[in-house]
Structure formats: structure tokens, C-alpha cells
Structure 1
Amino acid sequence: MVFQKLSNFRINMKFLHRCSLCVYWLLVTLSVGQLPVHAARLEVLKFSSHALKGNPLHDPDTRQVAVFIPSQYSSNEPLPIIYYLPGWGGSSERFIKDAEKWCTFTQKLADEVTPVLLVVVDGRNRWGGSQYINSPAQGNYADYVCDEIVKEVESRFGVTPFKPQRIVAGHSSGGFGALRLGMFRPKLFDGVVALSPDSDFPTSHLRFVQAPAVSNLTLAQVKAFAATDNAQPMPKDGDLRYALGLSAAYAPRGWWHRGEFEWPYDGHGHFREKVWQKWLDNDPLTIVERKHSAFLPRQTVYLEGAALDEYQANVGARKIYEVMKKRSSSCVFYEPPGHHSDHVAERLERGGAWSFGRPVKDIK
């Protein structure tokens, strides 16, 4: 009797052990099923730029380019590419540090819209930003992006042969850069996504150009700050530093005066309309108004500005749309809630989705 009870006990223990193993593996299977089975990854390219070599501000010519690659990528079937230009002071370095966020973004876009590579550029200079254009007062940043980054990325990862192949996108100063590069190289970029772009300068820029820190600066002080052969510290005032940087981008003295630019005020503190006109000549709104062929009919242009944008970038974006909607270009304007730098990733996702044929998702 005792032997029978012991045998039954052993059988029950074996049964319980087997059941516990089954439950364990069931839990493991369920937990694994809840984890992402695929995820985007980051690759960082670093190479020397011929376009930036010997630039007048002595800024680095070797920079990092962040490439976010969704799991669907295959070298046998290359993907379309979004080239992203960060705003003033931003760079690929910030995206690399926040890689998990942008890998998630890239994979989400791939799963819900279409697989793309997200390529992030570093267009900074000593002032903070280059606006991604060529200027003898700062260097050839448009050439750096269009001729060198595109070539380097696509020599490694390829690009789809189908349209759209390349979208140039950006926020704030990067949105300005996206518009300008889309105009500058219309055959290279099939679409533009401009989030809160610098435009309509009389509305968005004139007020900081007229700020006391800018208007009260003497030409001697401007020359001291602009000198590239000394250790003069950068001005602490944000408006002043921004004005110095934009002067280098928009009002260079010319190719024979590399690194030098014209200041919006003369030696007596009077506003110089001729110099201001040079700024306006670089305004995307001015260019679109003057040039009917600013964009090719086949290009798509997504314009956007937040409703509470503190720099009124939404005003300029809407004005560009009002001009372009009368033409043959495919263009849309969207005004999300929030401020200038709110929810940039979500806004980029919305613009990217529209560029690939999805309707704009309205949010309240």
C-alpha cells in the first residue's frame, strides 16, 4: 500500500513537472510574440568633403551622416530615401544620440506607409547653421548635400529606380534648406517636405534683424566677430548670432572676399535696404513668386507650419502654397496645432506619408 502511494506520488510529480514546463514555454512563446520581430538599425557614415574642404570659416570637412535602415531593406531591392536637414544648430549627431527614437520612427514609417531610408545631415557651421546653401562667406553646403552625401549614401545602399526616389525634408532652417535644394536640384529630388520653413522674411525675420542686439552692433564689432583668424568668442545673444549666420549665408561680399559678408546696418546704425534685399532674394517665397518654374511639375511639395508658431513660419508656408496651388505642381499645406518645434517626428511622418501618396492625416 505504501509502495503504491509512493508510485502515485512520483507519477503526479512527473506530471506536474511536465505541466510546469509546458506553461513555462507557453509564457516564453507569448512574451516573444509581443516583442518586435524586426526593427530598423542605424549606420553612421563618416567621410571627408571636397565641397567643404578649405571653407572660409575653418569648419570641419569630415562629418557624420546618420542612415536609419528599416528591416525591409535588401541590397537587391534598394529603397527610396528621405534626406533630412535638421534646423538651426541641429545635426546628425543629435539623431545618433537619440538613435532608438529614430529607428522606431523609420520602422513605423516602413510598416505603415512604405519602407524608406532616413538619412540625416550635419550642416552646421561656426555660427550654428549654413541654411544648406552655397556662399563664399561660409562654404558650399548645397554641393555637400547634393553632390557628396547623395553619392556616398547611394553608392553604399543604392536607391530605388521607381519614383519617388528621393525626398528632401527639413524643419525650420532645414525646411528652408529643403525648399532651396528642391529648387536648386529639381531633377535630383522628386519631392520636398518643408516643416515650419524659414520664409516670408519680412514677417518671420525682420523683427529679430531689428532687435537692439543686432541694430546696435558697430561695424567694428561685426568685423571682430566675423574674423576667422582669431579666437573671438561667439556672441551670447541668440538673435545676434543668428543674424551673423544668416548674413554669411545670404549677403556674402563675393568670391574675392571669402568669409566676409555685408551687415544690414551701416556705420551710423542706418538700415541698409540693399543688403536686406539680398536676404529677400534668398527667401523661398520671393523665389516662388518671381520664378514660375521654381519647382518642376512632377515634384511634390508638402508645406506645413504649426498654428501657434512663435516665428510665424506657418504664415510664409501658407503664402508659398497660395502661389503654388495655381500652378501645375502637386502641393499641399497643413497647419497642425502646437508651436514651432512641437512633435517634429510626427509631422515628418505625416509629410513623408503624403509624399508617397497617402492622404494627409488631420489631427486636432
Structure 2
Amino acid sequence: MLPWSADLAGRLDESVIDSALLRGNPLGDPYQRPVLVYLPPGYDESQQRYPTIYVAMGYLGHLGMWSNRTPFRQPYPELLDALFAKGEVPPAIVVFVDAWTRLGGSQYLDSPGTGQYHSYLCDEVVPWVDAKYRTLSDRDHRAITGKSSGGYTAMVTPMLRPDVFGALATHAGDAAFDLCYRPGFPLLARRLRDQYDSSYEKFFASFESRAGQSSREDLEFLEMYGYSAAYSAEPDGTVLLPYDEIGEVIPEVWDRWLAMDPVLMAGQSGYGEALRSLRAVWIDAGLQDEYYLDLGATAFHRAVREVGVPDERVHFELFEGTHGGIEYRYPLAVGWLCEQLAD
């Protein structure tokens, strides 16, 4: 496998969206956002219209990272191109979306702690893509996919906006919050106590003074605060952690997190109806996932079946693997989605 970029059979368009919804966001993050659009082979030579698949990044991910190259692994856009170059699946337009914040992410939700990233995706990015490219601009030809926090986005976005997305693929997406999030609360509470006197203000002062020198522990602190900003921020933007200084759950805050758990959402009538309307649902995760997201995937699959999504519309798979290094799974899901979205 070559260590440098390969020639593409399709092409990538890089653009910037000037977002009205992200102007004045609480964190002062840029409202002009990059978007990367993959156009399949033959797009420029035809007048064909295509389904679209939107890609949401995981936490601590931003759009520029799709170009990263590691030994013996190809970046996602090249894996996609190889899939479509074979001509074995119906072609699609693939849109890579950025929802980065200074906290490392937004879960693609609307929140007074981060900004209107859910509305940005559904009400600005999707119409922009449909206006600029030859898409089949209806929800039955539009899917969303992602891994980890991006997989979370793929699960909840079609439930929140079934008018926009008609299919999903989630790879090790955040789900079953009691399993994937709650076990880490005591450890983070202890670390914050020992290193920063249980003060996130002291953590941020230290973190911002060490630009370019962040540790894994820094990123874990940041991630927990970012999740809290997405799930449990007050109307004035105040971020509430779901646990106290000894890691004990604060019920009224934790309930706000659970209200956004894909597994629990699926059991609610409106969200269940949205799931039943989907044309395709792909769920997978590694059997050795460090965050127990294989269990979360299993729980979401169970919930999908319980609300009555027909088995023929669902692909569920647990495979040998951990949370990282599973990029090879992405084109498998995209290929399956393309087949399900084809008329």
C-alpha cells in the first residue's frame, strides 16, 4: 500500500459554508465551516442524480483529519473512491461535515453550551449540497453515517429529523449511556480532584497554557466537559456535569443525558415511528471495544427490532476489533447503504 496519496477515479470538492446558525455561537467558534464533497466516477460526464451519504466525525475529529495517512492504512476518501471505482455498488455523493468546537466536538446537537450544530447540519448543509450538486433531494435517498460520536450522530439525527434522513450507519456509536459513559465518572472525578482541586476552571487555565502539549488525560477531561456541554447545558450556557466531586451521579442532570441516549430514545413513540420509517439501518462495533460500545450497538439493535424495523432493512454485526483502527468498516457500510437507497 502506497504511503502517499493515490489518484482518485472520482473527485473531491472542498468548499466553505457561511453559516447563519453558527454566528454568535457560545464558544466563539468559526461560523464559516469547511465541507468536503466526494463526487463518484462519471459525475462530470453525466446528468445523473445521486443519493447522498453524510459523514459525521467522532469526538476530537475535524475535517482536515480525513487526509491523515498512517502506515498500511488509507484515508477514508480513498477507501470510498476504491469502492466506487470497482463499479460494484450504485454510486452516491458523500458529504464530509465539520462540527468541531473548541471543546473538541458538539455531538451534532443544538445546545446553549456549544451552538446549533444539529440545525446547521439539517437546515444549512443539506440544502446547500442539494442546491450545488445533482442529488436526489429527498429523505429516502439521503443517509448519515459515522463512528463513535459520529455514530451517535448517525443514530439520533434520523430520529430527530426523519424528514431529512431516511437511512443510517453507525460504527461503535455512543449508546447505552449507563454502560459507555457512567463507569468513567469516578475515575475522572478523582483525577480532577488530584490534579486540579476538582475545578474545571483550573483545568482549562492549565490546558490553554500548554498549547500543543495536551496529554491523553487532558483530552479525556475535555471530552467529558464537551459531552456535558452538548447534553446538559443550562439555557445561559452554564455546563452541568452529570456527577459530583466524588463521581456520584446527579440524578436530575443524568436524566438529561439519558433523554438523549439513542437506546432510550428509540423506545419513545415519536422516535420509534421515525426508526420504522427508515429504509436502512447498519449497526456494527468491535467485540473488544474499550468503551463497551459493542454492548451499546447490541442494545440499539435490540431497540430497533423492538420498535418494529423489519429485519431485512437492518444489518447488525459485531466483529473482531477494538474502538480504533476500524476504518475498513466504513466503505462496507457505505456500499450497503448505496444498495438500499437505490431505486
User: Judging changes above 3 Å, is the alpha-carbon distance between structure 1 residues 313 and 247 closer, same or farther for their aligned structure 2 residues?
Assistant: same
Secondary structure of 1:264's aligned partner = coil
Corresponding position of 1:211: 187
Whether 1:89 aligns to 2:69 is no
With a CA cutoff of 8 Å and minimum separation of 6, indicate the structure with the bigger relative contact order: 2
Mean CA deviation greater in 129-138 or 347-356: 347-356
**Counterpart among 105, 117, 123 of residue 141 in structure 1:** 117
CA–CA distance in structure 2, aligned partners of residues 37 and 198 of structure 1:
34
**Counterpart among 13, 18, 21 of residue 48 in structure 1:** 18
User: Judging changes above 3 Å, is the alpha-carbon distance between structure 1 residues 207 and 112 closer, same or farther for their aligned structure 2 residues?
Assistant: same
Corresponding position of 1:245: 226
**Counterpart among 277, 294, 298 of residue 255 in structure 2:** 277
Which has more radius of gyration? 1
Corresponding position of 1:8: none
Residues 244-323 of structure 1 correspond to what in structure 2 (within 5 A)? 244-254=225-235, 257-258=236-237, 260-266=238-244, 270-291=248-269, 292-323=272-303
User: Judging changes above 3 Å, is the alpha-carbon distance between structure 1 residues 141 and 225 closer, same or farther for their aligned structure 2 residues?
Assistant: farther
Amino acid at match of 1:206: R
Secondary structure of 2:200's aligned partner = helix
Amino acid at match of 2:294: N
Secondary structure of 2:199's aligned partner = helix
Amino acid at match of 1:273: P
**Counterpart among 79, 86, 89 of residue 50 in structure 2:** 79
8 Å Cα contact 1:214/1:239 also seen in 2: no
CA–CA distance in structure 2, aligned partners of residues 165 and 150 of structure 1:
12
Corresponding position of 1:118: 94
CA deviations on 1:245-294 (whole Å, 9 max, x unpaired) are 0010010112xx13x11122346875312111211111111111334324
8 Å Cα contact 1:87/1:172 also seen in 2: yes
8 Å Cα contact 1:189/1:299 also seen in 2: no
Whether 1:58 aligns to 2:39 is no
Corresponding position of 2:338: 356
What is the Cα-based RMSD across aligned positions, in Å? 2.8
8 Å Cα contact 1:213/1:240 also seen in 2: no
Secondary structure of 1:356's aligned partner = helix
CA–CA distance in structure 2, aligned partners of residues 163 and 188 of structure 1:
5
CA–CA distance in structure 2, aligned partners of residues 239 and 167 of structure 1:
30
1:90 is displaced (CA, Å) by: 1.3
Amino acid at match of 2:55: Y
CA–CA distance in structure 2, aligned partners of residues 38 and 316 of structure 1:
36
1:76 is displaced (CA, Å) by: 1.8
Give unmatched runs, 5+ long, in structure 2: 1-5
CA–CA distance in structure 2, aligned partners of residues 93 and 79 of structure 1:
25
8 Å Cα contact 2:156/2:262 also seen in 1: yes
Over the matched positions of the two proteins, sequence identity in percent amounts to 28
Corresponding position of 2:167: 191
8 Å Cα contact 1:200/1:285 also seen in 2: yes
Q: TM-score, normalised by structure 1?
A: 0.78
Corresponding position of 1:222: 200
Q: TM-score, normalised by structure 2?
A: 0.83
